[in-house]
Structure 1
Amino acid sequence: MPSTKKGSKKSSKKAGSSVFSSFTQQQVSEFKEGFAIMDADRDGILNKADIRNSFDIIGKIISEKELDEMLNDAPGPISFTMFVNMFAERQSGPTDEDEVIIKAFKAFDRGDGKIDSEQFRGQLMSFGDKMKGKEVDDVMAEMEFDEENNIELDPLIEMIVGKTEEENAEGQGEAPAE
């Protein structure tokens, strides 16, 4: 009997740690930071209100249907472990790095093809690999702005990935977005 107990401990430890071993310690730390920011009610579970609040913070309007679709992607309540599992599943599938970059920048889109430059500056200095003020200034010096100091999204995407969103979609065998 003791060997069965020992074996079950090993297998449960292995199963519990496998998703976290897919990421570096720094990535797991960033996931924790992101999860904590998103979990507005601090109950350890991301619910519809938490996700809506997260989108409100970045100024992105999201419909009830989109929220429901996001929540339905998870097979159960979105705890921190589920959150990391969902990232691991997305990471394991075939992804085009350009498409990931495009989607990341589109998350900041105000809905008019522009990004609020001050909000974007704050995000670069606050999350992930935090940038220093001078680094952000250098990056932003390369971007195109409109008369209201908003960043033009299409030229930014083209600068980063070397092609427009439409060219990237065509390269993926998809019809360009109209």
Structure 2
Amino acid sequence: MPSKGSRSSSKKAKKTGSNVFDMFTQKQVAEFKEGFQVMDRDRDGVINKVDLRGVFDEVGRIATDKELDDMLNEAGGPLNFTTLLHMFASRSSGESDDDDVVAKAFRAFEEEGGGVIDADKFRVALMAFGDKFTSQEVDEAFEQFDIDDDNKIDSDALVGMLCASGKEDTEEAA
């Protein structure tokens, strides 16, 4: 008689054809789930406007009712965990897109005129916003960066170090 297996011992998501869970690693699914749980303030399994507003308030970003409504309307229905995964899957089309997002995130910290990031301001931002880094984590990351005598980080070098494609096209085209 064939063994039916136990769900509790299974370490993989069930594979059933085009299951959205198959598009991500177990680690990614776990990270998305953790993020979902942080956003689902009332723990009802659905992210609603009150939940979203709480997240935005926590990170110090003002969001209008229209912005929140627009975000929720992208889901096309109740925003549960599976719907959120489908949204991530539909926007994830390869590493170059991921690299572009990473590059743009770091470019947002560039000083006016571009090309460099103030190391002190960047350190504060890493420890104050989003998934806050500890002082030790920032120190460890900064050990990997080339910081010049003016306390500036070359943003091209940073993007090149963190992205598979090196420099992204937006700066080269300028």
* Normalised TM-score (structure 1): 0.59
| Comparing 96-105 and 18-27, the one that deviates more | 96-105
Q: Structure 1: which 5+ runs fail to align?
A: 1-12, 126-132, 145-151
- Cα offset, 1:105, TM superposition: 5.5
Given that 1:20 and 1:28 are in contact with CA atoms closer than 8 Å, whether structure 2 keeps it comes out as yes
The 1:105/1:42 distance shift into structure 2, 3 A limit, reads farther
Aligned to 1:136: 138
- Cα offset, 1:24, TM superposition: 0.4
- Cα offset, 1:99, TM superposition: 2.9
- Cα offset, 1:158, TM superposition: 4.4
| Comparing 62-71 and 80-89, the one that deviates more | 62-71
- Cα offset, 1:120, TM superposition: 4.3
Counterparts of 1:107 and 1:64 in 2: how far apart (Å)? 25
Alignment map for 1:81-96 (pairs within 5 Å): 81-92=82-93, 96=97
- Cα offset, 1:94, TM superposition: 9.0
Alignment map for 1:53-64 (pairs within 5 Å): 53-64=54-65
Query: Aligned residues, how many?
Result: 138
Identity, in percent, stands at 46
Aligned to 1:130: none
Given that 1:121 and 1:136 are in contact with CA atoms closer than 8 Å, whether structure 2 keeps it comes out as no
- Kindly indicate whether residue 35 of structure 2 is the aligned counterpart of residue 34 of structure 1: yes
Aligned to 2:101: 100
Aligned to 1:119: 128
Counterparts of 1:31 and 1:42 in 2: how far apart (Å)? 15
Counterparts of 1:62 and 1:34 in 2: how far apart (Å)? 19
- Cα offset, 1:93, TM superposition: 7.4
The 1:62/1:80 distance shift into structure 2, 3 A limit, reads same
As a proportion of its length, which structure holds more helix?
A: 1
- Cα offset, 1:160, TM superposition: 3.2
AA partner of residue 57 (structure 1): E
Aligned to 1:161: 159
The 1:140/1:120 distance shift into structure 2, 3 A limit, reads farther
- Cα offset, 1:87, TM superposition: 0.5
Q: CA RMSD in A?
A: 3.7
Q: Deviations over 1:74-104 (max 9, x none)?
A: 1110001101111111113796334311455
Given that 2:126 and 2:138 are in contact with CA atoms closer than 8 Å, whether structure 1 keeps it comes out as no
* Normalised TM-score (structure 2): 0.60
Counterparts of 2:86 and 2:53 in 1: how far apart (Å)? 21
The 1:140/1:53 distance shift into structure 2, 3 A limit, reads farther
Counterparts of 2:167 and 2:97 in 1: how far apart (Å)? 14
Given that 2:47 and 2:80 are in contact with CA atoms closer than 8 Å, whether structure 1 keeps it comes out as yes
Counterparts of 1:24 and 1:36 in 2: how far apart (Å)? 18
* Dislocated runs of 4+, deviation >6 Å: none
- Kindly indicate whether residue 14 of structure 2 is the aligned counterpart of residue 18 of structure 1: no
Counterparts of 1:161 and 1:106 in 2: how far apart (Å)? 8
